[in-house]
Amino acid sequence: MKMTINTGPEALLSHLQNADGSATFSYAGYTVVGAVNGPIEVQRRDELPEEAVVDVIVRPAAGVGGTRERHLESLIQSTLRQIILINNFPRTLIQVILQVTTAPENEYVNAKTVQASSNLPLLPALLQTAVLSLLSAALPLTTTLTSTSLAIIADGQSNKIVLNPSPREVETSQSFHVFSFTSHDEPILVESEGSFTMKEWDDAFAAAQRQCCQSTIINDGDTRMDDSNSADANLKQFTRSTLEGKIASDLHWK
């Protein structure tokens, strides 16, 4: 089974002045700006007596949000509630706003296939932006997460795994998958659609795990940060190096 991968994740943290935390994440043709506010006061009818309310708002690159965005909000909210220490902030609100600013040109293509009209291709960029924004806001988390997508495309006698596929590749794929892993290398979200065998799913899972979890070990046993622009860029190391860069910048005055 062949595998290809896109390169070049980029991130910018804490650049919005009127938010408690913010981040812009760009990868695989998508750019998402995230803002986090909280813990803040919540309306009495919405408050939970023993934990914080997590409110996620997704705004599309063009037009008005609809059922597509509501589905993505539901997936992101349920995932974030697993990593935010919501029990530390009862009767409060943690609001996460995600604005898509750039998407592939034919991302909103009208097609007959299920995969082409899928809500899922945007999900990894939204999740990655949400987590970086939460970290920027210094909200306590049980873990961080990284997320990636891939498509399985028929290629002659075998199938090809394409990480972070283009909309055209999603349209022609047999199946499409989104995997998210915690910083402890445990799966936290798995969404799949299309036609696939268990063997194909296992191969897809392994490919996603390599991109999201794998560390690079050098001879003295230390972990080396992967270059975010390299072909085998690891999202876990990318998130860590992004935060290290932000902390170093904040402490530069000392």
pLDDT at 248: 86
pTM here is 0.87
Specify whether the CB–CB gap between 63 and 97 falls below 8 A. Answer: no
pLDDT at 22 over 60: yes
pLDDT at 1: 56
Q: Supply angle C-alpha 239, 123, 76, rounded to 5.
A: 85
Written as six digits, the tokens of 234 are 């690891």
The DSSP H or E segment spanning 214 is none
pLDDT greater than 70 at residue 31: yes
* 254 found inside a domain: no
pLDDT in tens, 159-206: 899 999 988 898 889 999 999 999 999 999 999 999 999 999 999 999
- CA atoms of 179 and 192, how far apart (whole Å): 9
- The answer on pLDDT for 2 being more than 70 is no
Predicted pLDDT at 231: 38
CATH of the domain at 226: 3.30.230.70
pLDDT confidence bin for 8, thresholds 50/70/90: confident
Work out the mean pLDDT of the chain and round it to a whole number.
85
What type of residue sits at position 148? T
Structural domain contains residue 253: no
Backbone angles phi, psi at 170, to 5 degrees: -65, -40
Domain that includes residue 91, residue range: 2-248
> Is residue 95 in a domain?
yes
State the total domains in the chain: 1
